[in-house]
Structure 1
Amino acid sequence: MRVVVADDSVLLREGLVRLLEEAGCSVVAAVGDADAFLEATATHRPDVAVVDVRMPPGMTDDGLRAAVRARAAQPGLAVLMLSAYIELSYADVLLSDGRGRVGYLLKDRVTSLDALVEALRTLTAGGTVLDPEVVAQLLVGRRTDPLDALTPRERDVLGLMAEGRSNAAIAERLVVGQGAVEKHISNIFAKIGLPDAGGDNRRVLAVLAWLQAR
């Protein structure tokens, strides 16, 4: 897995590089600002980028905006936004292109290297990984809720899907069998209008339909 790391904190950036390389990843570039990130992704064409939301030059949402531009230039690029903050201004744009391979995790909620590497693997495989708090913030103020037709348990399952959990992990978390999880997921797809089209990743589309409801 070829990775670009972008974070303006030297200590965090170098720490991520060391940890990821110890986990078997190949860090092809580590940069500290949004412009350098865009240059690194264009030059190295990585599999995945780990990007801080707030970076120079503006120290607002420069990293997030740069990630949107990088994905436009390299549609297959997986992006993990790893931040101390929830910045919503461009999050919808990043999450709503329908291609998956997008994650948004809060730094203080990533408790182990294994969890970080597993998130990167999920993204490069085409999945989506979202911190529950990010999901909650994205849903604030939505005028309509596509989950109205879902049961409380189906909502729980969809929330865990948004975190990137497998069926087995969902079953373990909810203390139910995998067959029950599969049935809940099938019901979710049906209720929010996602028939099996043969090629689309319906897990990703289900999460995006949830986040995009207005």
Structure 2
Amino acid sequence: MRPPFLLISSRPEQRAADDEHSAVARHMGVPVERVVRLSATDDAYAPPDPAAFAGVLQGGSPFTGSTPLEEQSDLQRRTEDRLGAVLDQVVAAGVPFMGLCYAVGTLTRRLGAVVDHTYGRGTSAVRVELTEAGRTDPLLADVPVAFDAYVGHHEAVTVAPPGSVVLATSDPTPVQMLRVGADQYVTQFHPELDTAGLVRRMTDYLHSGYFPAEEFERVVAEISRVRVDDAHGVLAAFARRYG
């Protein structure tokens, strides 16, 4: 029997966490039962063994990792401590990893990146372009050189960590995807989101500062005009390569 994947969730909001879980599995092209979800925000959290899984994924979050420690909630600090312990194991053991959005901060800051609000971006669709390195990365062999994807983030990588490889970029966010080592990847964009999923997430995070709440309908109209099917290919490729 093939080993399952592990999705570490850092969303306290139940519906958003459920939606993310099902969307990740769907766009990976695997049964949802094969993606084991572990909530890092849950009181009953128990540390996993990353090496027991075909690969580890980390979902997004309403938390902002570059928020000064003294301004973070107890829940965020506890969640990031848990994530950090798992990510240290993932990197040390070379476990295949795919981090979505929030992982840009939780993983790359541990490795020496500068992550701040310089390139934060509200909920929108952006044109992502593979770099020269991205065009030759085996994970991205079947991903178009340029594609549209959904974003929404308060922080982003300003300076990539030493030894990492930037695989995709966009205007104005210079790091949309990077690789650490041979098999650990993070994306700033959301390869798990389609239009319906993003609208539901916008509803869940209406007052979280990703867009002006009073402009909900305008933002929905804008993101609905863009097709992001090719962005899902990143998750499908991860499942094929490591599953």
Fold conserved between structures, TM > 0.5: no
* Structure number having the greater helix percentage: 1
Structure having the higher strand fraction is 2
Larger Rg: 1
